[in-house]
Amino acid sequence: MKRLSAVFLIAVCVLLAAIAPAHSQRPRDVEQQINALLAKMTLAEKLGQLQQLDGEAGGNYRPEHVDLARKGLLGSTLNVRGAAKTNELQRIAVTESRLKIPLIFGFDVIHGYRTIFPIPLAEAASWDPSMAERTAAVAAQEANNAGLHWTFAPMLDIARDPRWGRITEGAGEDPFLGAAFAAARVRGFQGSDYSAPDKLVACAKHWVAYGDAEGGRDYNTTDLSENVLRQIYFPPFKAAVDAGVGTFMSSFNSINGVPASANRFTLTKVLREEWKFDGFVVSDYTSVKELINHGIAANEAEAAAKALNAGVDMEMVSRSYNQYGPRLVEQRQLSLATIDEAVRRILRIKYRLGLFEKPYADETREPGSLLRPESLRLAREAAAHSMVLLKNERNVLPLDKSVKSIAVIGPLADDRRSVLGPWAGDGRDENTVTILAGIKAAAPAQTKVSYAKGCDIKGDSDAGFGEAVALAKESDVALVFVGESDDMGGEAASRSSLDLPGRQMDLAKAIQATGKPTVVVLINSRPLTFGWIADNVPAILVAWMGGSQAGNAIADVLFGDVNPSGKLPVTFPRTVGQVPIYYNHLNTGRPPEAQNKYSSKYIDVPWTPQFPFGYGLSYTTFKVSNLQLSVPRIRVGDKLTVTVEVENTGKRAGDEVVQLYVRDPVASMSRPVKELKGFQRVALQPGEKKRVEFTLTRDALAFWNREMRFVVEPGEFDVMVGSNSQDVLEAKFAVVER
């Protein structure tokens, strides 16, 4: 029996070895291979591994890349793409260089490669991390087949200031929601084995606090306590580490006077020592050289020493490591051990990617992998899933399919580019379904759909108003599409105003004045301020920038084929003067009171948001009731079960996102007025009721105290459950010492 068992075990081991993924080699074996390779490398070759250089427009590599790859002096490229192009350069690296170390090809696959999905902020509005995991998986598959190994995503910056253009790339203002989407996107890009032929290694960026840039101005300074860093800005990144993310990117900003790309506290103490991250860190674009502008380095040599010693392993685009590394070693400002450790980390990821065994892309797979029908269906589903219905008086929506005529109005209704959003990968205008095309395709055959631009997105002309107004008067319903162009969001797209640009607000007013039922649809990359529309237009839908299938998805929602179920992942202010405004703020000694002048509020606008975090309507109605706790008190470290009933009280099937918040009202430090600690999407038929259960663990009740210890303090807690951060049921429980 023992002999048969041994034979069986040997057979199983042989089978597992045959099917095991490349990076499932025993870690000890990989480390031995890395050490053996390091022992053969010259200093120049080591520094070459720390260098990433940019390609040309259109995905071509540069002529110098050939020479550098041949000499073993290039570790990675960004923006070089297309299987044939990457294979050409890779072949030089692995056949003509002395040590045959493969290159890693990276690209900003943020919300799609060729099939473009909704911007990440929009996907977060779905409150459905599994959807983000699915879209990331498709993006990885398309990009991998185009010769890429590495994406500079997901962006995990918590953003409380919508003036910052890059709010579009993340999951909004909340660390709990952000952590859920961080883990999902890492899983989508990487899977369980990122050496697989349809996966990429992900990059958690921007490490860290980039989203708190002063004044919402990109690349700007942040000044935050360690407590706030750990409580608000770290959690999505920790979730990415726990999900197995392979790489990190250091950010442009300084943190409390120390630039993130030279910050040993964040790069080494937290990331490597506390969290045990063993992948590598790449700088953001020229952020090593920019240490000079930050004022902590007098020249590029100093910048290189400070960044590499702090823990930035690979330098993106600038060449300070390469040019000054030998001198710094000679002057003992940089040790060979530090360089070796950086190289080791980069080689580790290359081994885990399987590049030493399979360095080339299969060129036959690329054409058939792009824009597959199932990918486009997912893009359409994801875009519809992300939309947030803000207002629907008199049930203007969904549109009655017996409607005889529809006026489609606005500068974004027939814009192929803007609906793709910023950082649209290798997405192409000709593959985009415009809003107008989507509505025409969805409208019944007998319905007349007419279009008038009305005005430009930017500019002061109202020359097109007359045509738009006349069209609205002739039609049964007017659909007004306003918002931002794709270049008004994303990197280097900070805005001092959140108002609709150009004459778009005036256009909406003119159409509403016709007296025809009017729907305003926002095509936006961030929260916008549109108070007049919020007060006067009966129906408002946030459609965001929905990607390749935006037009079809918007039509699906407008005609009621999809019931909107999105919830805001970020607070919408009434005016830019309220910014920053976010739901999980600390209380003050004088909380706002309407009848008390000497309380924390404005004299010219309400202190409340236009629309709160977690808000979103449906074409049906829901009721959350019967909040119950499993016990009235728990001991520190124990769990608490929270249940509610949610019922569809309307006439349509729909999804409700039930949200759970907690508050620690008395603690050793001021705690937020509420914090999201759970959410569930629940699908219900008309009249159906379901019980929803949440479990509160120690981590949900703990916080970082003054001694930077993550603790639960005994005392009374509030628990709140509802359909958004304001409309909640409340209960109390106590935490006691053991």
The answer as to whether 468 is a domain residue is yes
Closest CA to 619 of 539, 543, 533: 539
The CATH code of the domain that includes 467 is 3.40.50.1700
pLDDT at 1: 37
Identify the helix (H) or strand (E) that includes residue 662.
Answer: strand 654-663
218 given a catalytic annotation: no
Is the previous residue joined to 206 through a cis bond, with omega within 30 degrees of 0? yes
End-to-end CA distance of the chain: 51
65 with 176, same domain: the answer is yes
Choosing from 518, 553, 578, the residue where a domain stops is 578
**What is the Cα–Cα distance from 83 to 90, expressed in whole angstroms?**
10
Closest CA to 657 of 616, 598, 702: 616
- Number of C-beta neighbours around residue 269 at 10 A: 13
Domain span holding position 409 = 366-578
Report, as ranges of residue numbers, the positions in the chain whose pLDDT lies below 50.
1-22
Q: Is 190 left (phi over 0), alpha (psi -120 to 50) or beta?
A: alpha
The answer as to whether 434 is a domain residue is yes
pLDDT at 738: 76
pLDDT at 608: 98
85 with 145, same domain: the answer is yes
526 with 675, same domain: the answer is no
Tokens of 363: 């060129």
pLDDT at 28: 79
The answer as to whether 555 is a domain residue is yes
Tokens of 455: 């005005």
The answer as to whether 597 is a domain residue is no
The answer as to whether 352 is a domain residue is no
Choosing from 560, 578, 596, the residue where a domain stops is 578
The answer as to whether 58 is a domain residue is yes
The answer as to whether 32 is a domain residue is no
Alpha helices in 452-582 (DSSP H): 465-474, 504-512, 531-536, 550-558
**What's the burial of 55, exposed, middle or buried (CB within 10 Å: 0-12/13-18/19+)?**
buried
166 with 273, same domain: the answer is yes
445 with 522, same domain: the answer is yes
The answer as to whether 515 is a domain residue is yes
Please list the helix, strand and coil fractions of the chain in percent, rounded to the nearest 5, in that order.
35, 20, 45
- Interior/surface letters 567-585, b for 16+ CB within 10 angstroms, e for the rest: bbbbbbbbbbebbebbbbe
Q: Write phi, then psi, for 537 (nearest 5 degrees).
A: -90, 135
The CATH code of the domain that includes 673 is 2.60.40.10
227 with 300, same domain: the answer is yes
544 with 683, same domain: the answer is no
pLDDT at 4: 39
Number of domains in the chain: 3
186 with 54, same domain: the answer is yes
113 with 211, same domain: the answer is yes
Q: pTM for the complete prediction?
A: 0.96
DSSP state of 201: B
The sign of the torsion formed by the CA atoms of 124, 127, 131, 136 equals positive
Q: 108, 128, 212, 284: which is the annotated catalytic residue? A: 284
644 with 685, same domain: the answer is yes
Choosing from 521, 546, 578, the residue where a domain stops is 578
75 with 215, same domain: the answer is yes
Closest CA to 252 of 298, 225, 221, 277: 221
**What is the Cα–Cα distance from 334 to 320, expressed in whole angstroms?**
13
The CATH code of the domain that includes 214 is 3.20.20.300
254 with 373, same domain: the answer is no
